Amino acid sequence: MEFTIRVWRQAGPGSKGELKVYRANNVSADSSFIEMMTELNIHLLEMGDEPVAFEADCLEGICGTCSMMIDGVAHGPEKGTTTCQLFMRSFKDGATITVEPFRAGAFPVLKDLVVDRSAFDRIVQQGGFISVNTGNAPDGNAVLVPKDQAETSMDAAECIGCGACVASCKNGSAMLFVSAKAAHFANLPQGQAERYRRTILMVEQMDKEGFGACTNQYECEAVCPKEISVNFIGQLNRDYMVGKLKGAGGK
């Protein structure tokens, strides 16, 4: 297959970027998008050009490292799929494909397609955990967790922290990410002790990081490679209000 690839090139955090046009020839339909980009880079190298900086690691759709806006859609055209699990057979031979970074106010571009998503880590550092030190745990079966609760918790916990939700939201909101983190714990008995405090501290940090507000457009759910449900946002909002009423969240 053959493609015209328009890629965002930006030398560093402060620099001005632009779309550059390259050709990708002899691409196998079985190649993944990342493999196609790797071949493109080898070609650029041969031409004496600097390869495009982009990130990918596990290539199994689970680590959340890969982050490309492909033709304006986070992770490209296939539903429930990360960039690394996207295969070239999903594109028309001869197509022009535009590749840009996951842009958002809270995700500064470091170089080309590489962005800084450490704001997510800082949100988790404020409350995305259960406070229990090693050595304190009762037997694993001491607390029974009904199967449906465990499943709901797991549905939320599947979030891979890639930031597609933020990149596709016109407000750059992180509500899907934060609500998934909160729901993972809020649906387990072990997560109850810190439920409201956790919610409030994470939401406050989210605001501090400069993520935008959620205006219920649900672009986030549509692009989420793990198809995390926006219903968790409703639960987050409720817990936030209850928490505020209870005066939770003080340090």
Partner 1 sequence: MTLDARIPPGDIKDKWTRFQSEMKLVNPANKRKYSVIVVGAGLAGASAAATLAELGYHVECFVFHDSPRRAHSIAAQGGINAAKNYQNDGDSVWRLFYDTVKGGDFRAREANVYRLAEISTSIIDHCVALGVPFAREYGGTLANRSFGGVQVSRTFYARGQTGQQLLLGAYATLSRQIGLGQVRMHTRSEMTDVVVVDGRARGIVTRNLVTGEISSHRADAVVIATGGYSNVFFLSTNAKGSNTSAIWRAHKRGAYFGNPCYTQIHPTCIPAVGEQQAKLTLMSESLRNDGRIWVPKSKGDKRAASSIPESERDYYLERKYPSFGNLAPRDIASRSAKEVCDDGRGVGPGERGVYLDFRDAIARLGRPVIEERYGNLFDMYAKITGEDPYNTPMRIYPAPHYTMGGLWVDYNLMSTVPGLFVIGEANFSDHGANRLGASALMQGLADGYFILPSTIGNYFASSKLPALGADGEKALASAADESRALFTKLVNIKGKRAVDSYHRELGTLMWDRCGMGRNAPGLNDAIQRIGALREEFWTNVNVPGSSNDLNMSLEYAARVADYFELAELMCMDALHREESCGGHFREESQTPDGEARRDDQQFCYVGAWEYTGKVSASRLHKEPLSFDNVHLVERSYK
Separate counts of helices (H) and strands (E) for the chain? 8, 7
**Under rule CB under 8 A, residue 73 binds partner 1:** no
# chain residues binding partner 1, by CB under 8 A: 77
* Number of C-beta neighbours around residue 96 at 10 A: 12
**Under rule CB under 8 A, residue 1 binds partner 1:** no
Closest CA to 227 of 140, 165, 138: 165
Q: Closer CB to partner 1, residue 141 or residue 216?
A: 141
**Under rule CB under 8 A, residue 64 binds partner 1:** yes
Q: Which stretch binds partner 1 (CB under 8 A): 50-58, 217-225, 228-236, 239-247?
A: 50-58
**Under rule CB under 8 A, residue 242 binds partner 1:** no
Smallest distance from partner 1 to CB 156, Å? 9
- Considering only 1, 20, 38, 231, the residue that binds partner 1 (CB under 8 A) is 38
DSSP-derived secondary structure for 47-76: TTPPPPP----SSSS-S----EEETTEET-
Q: How far apart are CA 182 and CA 199, in angstroms?
A: 6
**Contacting partner 1 within 208-237 (CB under 8 A):** none
- Considering only 138, 170, 216, 245, the residue that binds partner 1 (CB under 8 A) is 138
Secondary structure letter of residue 110 according to DSSP: E
- Considering only 97, 101, 104, 153, the residue that binds partner 1 (CB under 8 A) is 153
User: Binding mask 184-213 vs partner 1 (x if CB under 8 A, - otherwise)?
Assistant: xx--x-xx----------------------
Residue 115: strand pairing partners: 109
Tokens of 203: 């939401």
Q: Are 168 and 220 in contact (CB under 8 A)?
A: yes
Q: Are 217 and 169 in contact (CB under 8 A)?
A: yes
**Contacting partner 1 within 159-178 (CB under 8 A):** 160-161
> Which own/partner contact pairs does 147-155 have at CB distance under 8 Å and 24+ positions apart?
149/187, 149/188, 149/189, 150/188, 152/183, 152/187, 153/183, 153/184, 153/185, 153/187, 153/188, 153/191, 154/184, 155/228, 155/229
Q: Is the dihedral of CA 145, 204, 129, 74 positive or negative?
A: positive
**Under rule CB under 8 A, residue 23 binds partner 1:** no
Smallest distance from partner 1 to CB 234, Å? 20
Smallest distance from partner 1 to CB 59, Å? 5
Q: Closer CB to partner 1, residue 27 or residue 223?
A: 27
- Considering only 5, 24, 34, 174, the residue that binds partner 1 (CB under 8 A) is 34
CA–CA–CA angle 170, 102, 153 (5° rounding):
80
Smallest distance from partner 1 to CB 100, Å? 17
Smallest distance from partner 1 to CB 39, Å? 6
**Under rule CB under 8 A, residue 12 binds partner 1:** yes
